[in-house]
Structure 1
Amino acid sequence: MDIDEIYIDYSREYDKELNMVHGFGSVSSFMEEGINEPIHIGSIIYNFYNMFSFNQEKDALISADAVSGDEEYIMSTLLNNGFEFEEGGALITLDRIVLKEQWVNTKIYG
């Protein structure tokens, strides 16, 4: 079975101490014609960094490291490979995508 359309309902919370936003999303899709209710197929977790809100690049790295060593590694790699911190902008790191086991091998288009 293929999934043609997915929907992500998300919420977010601002972490004042880390100066970043943690996001959580519920992934769903209409799996069968005639069914009016979407089926929950998984979830996502992400982190949003508004680079304008950090005084220096190292401040963003400190926040990322507080999340996890892997998050700090991702942020460090981005900042050391072409992302121009001085220009500001935003970085979003995808922490994880979790699909219910029955949907793991399904082709998802969206």
Structure 2
Amino acid sequence: MTARHLAALVLLVPGCAALLLSAAGLLLLRDVYDRLHALAPASSLGAPLVVLALAVDTGPGRAAVKLLFTGVLIAAGGAVTTSALGRVTALLDPDGPEEVEH
């Protein structure tokens, strides 16, 4: 086992744990806002860690750059998407929070 492979495993384990915990939160939580909060770590922490682990294991080169770019897009896009979904849910849900900034 090389040092690069070991470093990839160190990144992969918490990334997979974040993805699995988010999936469990999606299945176990019933409130739409709780579910939205439970899924946020999957896109902001879990997927980027998995992508980073893959890039480390791949080694330097074009493939690693593509993987890192994908991870940045997932992290940035996931946060924006979660925020947008929360806002739309609050606007459409009659039982949702009363105060929504426009």
What is the TM-score with the length of structure 2 in the denominator?
0.30
Where relative contact order (Cα < 8 A, 6+ residues apart) is larger, the structure is 1
Normalized against structure 1, the TM-score is what? 0.28
Going by fraction, where is strand more abundant, 1 or 2? Answer: 1
